[in-house]
Chain A
Amino acid sequence: GEDVEQSLFLSVREGDSSVINCTYTDSSSTYLYWYKQEPGAGLQLLTYIFSNMDMKQDQRLTVLLNKKDKHLSLRIADTQTGDSAIYFCAEPSDTGRRALTFGSGTRLQVQP
C-alpha cells in the first residue's frame, strides 16, 4: 500500500531555516507536492517538483528530492512567523485511484 510519512512537529526561531521532511512509497509518482494549511483555512498549494528533478527553488522555498531513498524535503529560508502552519507532503495515489495521498502533516511553529 501507499504511505506518506512526515514528522509531526517542528519548532524554529524566526530568521532560521526550517527543513520539513517526508518519505513516500510510490516510485512512479510523476509529481510531488507541498501544501500549506494555516489555522482555520483550507490547503494552499505551496510548490511541487517533477520527479525527474533533484531540486527546485522558488524564492525562500527549496524542494529537494531523493528518488533513490524516496525522500522529499522542503526548506524554508529566513523563516517568518507567518510561515507558522501545517505543511503536507502529497503524492499521486497508486494506479486505479488517481487522487492524492497526503501525509499527516508537519506543524511548523516559528518562535519570535
Chain B
Amino acid sequence: ETGVTQTPRHLVMGMTNKKSLKCEQHLGHNAMYWYKQSAKKPLELMFVYNFKEQTENNSVPSRFSPECPNSSHLFLHLHTLQPEDSALYLCASSQEWGTSGMMETQYFGPGTRLLVL
C-alpha cells in the first residue's frame, strides 16, 4: 500500500465503549498528525508527533489518547466519548515537523467517520 491509510473507515460506538483508530503511513515520513473535522468547525489539529515524540496537544480532552509506537504508525484511543465527538478523524503525515517550507506539506488519509451514540 502507498500513502496514508486509516482503519476503520467507519465506527459507531456507545459512550461507554473503548475503541482505537489506527493510522499507517508508507511515505517514510517522521511527523504524524491527528485532525478532527466536524460539520460546524474548520479542520482542528488535535495532536502532532515528530520522531515518535508528542510535540503538540491542542487542548484535547483526555478521553482522546494518542499513541505513536514508531514513525509509521499512529493510534487514537477513545474512551467515554460524548455525542459531540462524532466527526471525521483525519490522520496526516509530513516529512518533518517544526521546519518551514516543504517539509510541512501534509498528506492525509481517508479518515475515520466516527458516530458516538
> Could you tell me which A residues sit within 8 Å of B by CB distance?
4, 30-31, 33, 35, 40-45, 48, 88, 92-93, 97-100, 102-105
If the complex has contacts A30-B101, A31-B102, A42-B90, are A99 and B108 also in contact, measured as CB distance less than 8 A? no
Interface of chain B residues 29 through 59 with chain A (CB within 8 A): 33, 42-43, 45, 48, 56
Task: Give CA–CA (A40, B33) in the complex, Å.
Answer: 19
Closest to B4 in A: A42
**List of A residues within 8 angstroms of B80 by Cβ:** none
Q: Are B56 and A103 in contact (CB under 8 A)?
A: no
Q: Which of A42, A43, A45 gathers the greatest number of chain B CB atoms within 10 Å?
A: A42
The 8 Å CB contact of A42, one of B100, B101, B110, is B110
Closest to A35 in B: B108
Would you list 13 pairs from A and B whose C-beta atoms are within 8 A, ordered by A residue?
Answer: A31-B105, A42-B109, A43-B90, A45-B107, A45-B108, A88-B43, A93-B45, A98-B99, A99-B97, A99-B104, A100-B45, A102-B43, A105-B43
CB of B66 within 8 Å of the partner chain: no
Q: Beyond A97-B45, A98-B100, list 5 extra A-B contacts (CB 8 Å).
A: A41-B110, A92-B104, A93-B45, A98-B104, A102-B43
Please give the distance in Å from A22's CB to the nearest CB on chain B.
12
Task: Give CA–CA (A65, B73) in the complex, Å.
Answer: 36
